[in-house]
Amino acid sequence: MSTERRGLLIVYTGNGKGKTTAALGLVLRAVGQGLRCCVIQFLKSARGRWGETVVAEKLGIEWHQMGRGFVFRPEAQTQDAALAREAWALAQERILSGEIDLIVLDEFSYLFEFGWLNAAEVARWLSEQRPKQLHVVVTGRNMPEALVEMADLVTEMVLVKHPYDAGIGAQAGIEF
Ligand code: ATP
Ligand code: MG
């Protein structure tokens, strides 16, 4: 097995909770190893006070939140579509910048689901353009096959239980 440093494409998908938190756990580990990290959250509003962004600020992690919160009627959300494409352009710029070692594209799969980006084109761009040593982590339900296929690591979160189903609301520090 080769121990040479190689950028990985990592996918966290599935219906169970833990995709975003897994990606952020990796960021924590990577920062500890001196890797320069960048997080782009595609659907989260910058207005909310998320536990993770408070810590990111303390640790000096580059962090971008695009979008206006979760989208329920994508066909009516042209503004979200424009923001999403802008966020992908930003991701491409950061990937090519040479200034980072790991990038997280959080809730990336929704851009394909809503038809805002083409999965085959994005997969091709990533395989051709991404620097060899850069780790790319993408999260979201229903990740397109084109990305799953080219990924080095794919983990699917399986829903076994979720507190919402028992009527237990979002807990600070667990959900946000
Ligand atoms: P987390 O950010 O906690 O790691 P996630 O990234 O896996 O969760 P998403 O699909 O991004 O989950 O959904 C975001 C929100 O939906 C979270 O608040 C999460 O708790 C909630 N959620 C995730 N899975 C479920 C589920 N199976 N049933 C109900 N709510 C869920
Ligand atoms: Mg998530």
Instruction: State in Å: Cα 1 to ligand 2 middle.
Output: 32
Instruction: State in Å: Cα 32 to ligand 1 middle.
Output: 26
pLDDT digits (tens, 9 = 90+) for 86-144: 889 999 999 999 999 999 999 999 999 989 999 999 999 999 999 999 999 999 999 99
Q: For residue 79, what are the CA distances in angstroms to 72, 89, 149?
A: 13, 15, 31
Q: Within 10 Å of residue 51's Cβ, how many Cβ atoms?
A: 13
Please answer whether residues 109 and 13 qualify as being in contact, where contact means their C-beta atoms are separated by less than 8 angstroms: yes
Q: For residue 102, what are the CA distances in angstroms to 30, 74, 138?
A: 8, 29, 11
Our answer on whether the CB atom of 18 is closer than 6 Å to any ligand 1 atom is yes
How many percent of the chain have pLDDT more than 90? Answer: 77
